[in-house]
Amino acid sequence: MALDIKRVTMDEVSAAALLFDAYRSFYQQPSSLQAAFDFLEQRISKNESVLFLAVLKGEAVGFVQLYPIFSSVQMKAALLLNDLYVTETARRQGVGEALLQQAKQFGRESNAAFLLLQTADDNYRAQSVYEKSGWIRTPDFFYEYPL
């Protein structure tokens, strides 16, 4: 498998936006390629997220997006793995695992205190990939306040 994982720069935002739009559609959000492009362009240009793109045989097939957060207790930066997506045709080929590995490597290289992610309780496919990649389910309770 000729899989390449690369950090997205402004030059790759268009390729990432196609996948980001598909990711949002997966979560029943309206498709808007321009809005996806604008959102990612802003995150990258303002250094508000780190985005890695998976390219398989010359085609962009997945991405992972990390947002910086902070741990007051540890007084260190940490990372929130907010988005992970692999196209249907590239699933079960190790792309998701490779993207998770890249996220862990980036976390170590940036001296992050930890990486955090959250997924739906019924997203069993993703949960199995996370657990296979060494992620540990915690019994913490999360609350959301919709604004």
Domains of the chain, start order = 3-132 (3.40.630.30)
For the chain, residues with pLDDT lower than 50 are: none
Distances (CA, A) of 109 to 15, 81, 85, 94: 25, 15, 23, 22
**Number of alpha helices (DSSP H) and beta strands (DSSP E) in the chain:** 4, 5
Alpha helix (H) ranges present in 63-123? 95-109
In this prediction the pTM is: 0.89
Q: pLDDT at position 142, please?
A: 64
Predicted confidence (pLDDT) per residue in 113-142, tens digit: 999 888 877 888 888 888 888 888 877 666
Query: Which letter does DSSP use for residue 11 in this model?
Result: G
pLDDT of residue 61: 95
Measure the CA–CA gap between 71 and 114, rounded to whole angstroms.
9
> What is the reported pLDDT for 1?
63
pLDDT of residue 119: 81
Q: What is the pLDDT of residue 144?
A: 60
